[in-house]
Amino acid sequence: MSNGSNSNLDFKGRVAIVTGAGGGLGRQHALALAARGAKVVVNDLGGARDGSGGSVSAAQAVVDEIKAAGGEAIANGASVTDFEAVQAMVKQAVDAWGRVDILVNNAGILRDKSFAKMDLADFKLVVDVHLMGAVNCTKAVWALMNEQKYGRIVMTTSSTGLYGNFGQSNYGAAKLALVGLMQTLSIEGAKNDIRVNCLAPTAATRMTEDLFPKEMLEAFRPEAVVPAMLVLAAQDAPNRTILCAGAGTFEAAHITLTQGAWLGIEADTPEQLAARLSEVTDREGEAVPQSGAAQGANEVAKGMANAKRG
């Protein structure tokens, strides 16, 4: 992979941790960061796609691949659900290379079933790996990134979280939760140049291979998602961006707020809302709020405007 002319995508001197990097998308992330000069902690529990089992051999194989290509990498077999093991992983990176600049929260599992048939244990485990796994890893690097006044964190969300998918209520809930986590961390980290973004990949990996017809597997290979990760992890990365990627196409997703309508607080307001719901949900003039306070500000502004009229 050539570095091209854009030095922003040169990662020399940077240290990256990529979770779930023993195969699929995580492996491609680790290889790409290493090819562009980053020192990489290749983390993988080495379990099956449902989260069972474990072996560090998958991570070690990727490390060997990076080293054979002239890069620097170390393997780590921590489960992202084990905060102490995750803290030890961060210490391993700092002991080896002195810092952590980039965290790509990629580790995940699937336990797909319709909600009616889903066991609650399978719901909790998927939330624990995707959401709490990312929380654990982010918490373990947060103080360090604040201290060094630099950090790039990539959360892996999903179209399932953003838009839904039959049989994946557990996965979807966890994946949209990561967007909520990004929204606040990107605000809290801004003063110390910690930028937090989300990547929503569409890729044919072990996690999703059953969802694609054979002729589409090539187009949706995981390598096609990697450019979005590199941009989100780079020095000139955006902040609070949900970047979607698959098969060579890149999009952005937004959580928007409509202009809404002021209906007041009257006995018949429920009936008014029901009658004017299409006006409330009309997307013309919708905005992407920069913080949760924007909703309240819109409501106050509309209320005051109507009070003046009264």
Tell me the pairing of strands 39-43 and 151-156: unpaired
pLDDT recorded at residue 207 = 65
Residues in the chain, pLDDT under 50: 1-6
Q: How distant, in Å, are the alpha carbons of 37, 45, 242 from that of 34?
A: 5, 20, 24
Amino acid at 47: G
User: Three-class SS of residue 225?
Assistant: helix
Dist CA 206 CA 53 (whole Å) = 15
**What's the confidence (pLDDT) of residue 7?**
57
At residue 40, what are phi and psi to the nearest 5 degrees? -125, 130
Q: What is the pLDDT of residue 222?
A: 92
Residue 101: partners with Cβ closer than 8 Å, 6 or more residues away? 14, 15, 16, 38, 145, 148, 150, 151, 152
pLDDT for position 97: 98
CB 261 within 8 A of CB 276: yes
pLDDT of residue 4: 43
Looking at residue 1, what is its pLDDT? 37
Domains in the chain (CATH in brackets) are 7-253 (3.40.50.720), 269-309 (no CATH)
Angstrom distance (rounded) from CA 95 to CA 75: 14
Any idea which residue has 């796994």 for tokens?
133
Strands (E), the chain: 15-18, 39-43, 72-76, 102-105, 151-156, 194-201, 242-246, 249-253
Q: Which residues make Cβ contacts (< 8 Å) with residue 310, sequence separation at least 6? A: none
Q: Which two tokens stand for residue 74?
A: 């170390």
Instruction: Give the single-character DSSP code of 149.
Output: T
Active-site residue flag, 171: yes
- The predicted-structure confidence for 103-150, as pLDDT tens digits, reads as follows 999 999 999 999 999 999 999 999 999 999 999 999 999 999 999 999
Pair 164, 121: CB distance under 8 Å: no
The pLDDT assigned to 310 comes to 63
Of 251, 208, 45, 250, which is closest to residue 112 (Cα–Cα)?
A: 208
What does the alpha-carbon distance between residue 244 and residue 86 come to, in Å, rounded to a whole number?
27
pLDDT of residue 203: 85
| DSSP E strand stretches across 62-139 | 72-76, 102-105
Q: Which is the catalytic residue, given 97, 142, 171, 220?
A: 171
Tokens found for residue 195:
């930028």
Characterize the bridge pairing of strands 249-253 and 242-246: antiparallel
Question: In this structure, what DSSP letter does residue 206 have?
Answer: T
Cα 245 to Cα 247: distance, rounded to the nearest angstrom: 7
221 vs 204: CA distance, rounded Å: 5
The one-letter code for the residue type at 227 is P
Distance between CA atoms of residues 187 and 176, nearest Å: 18
Q: Alpha-carbon distance 41 to 59, whole Å?
A: 9
| CA–CA distance, 197 with 266 (Å, rounded to integer) | 41
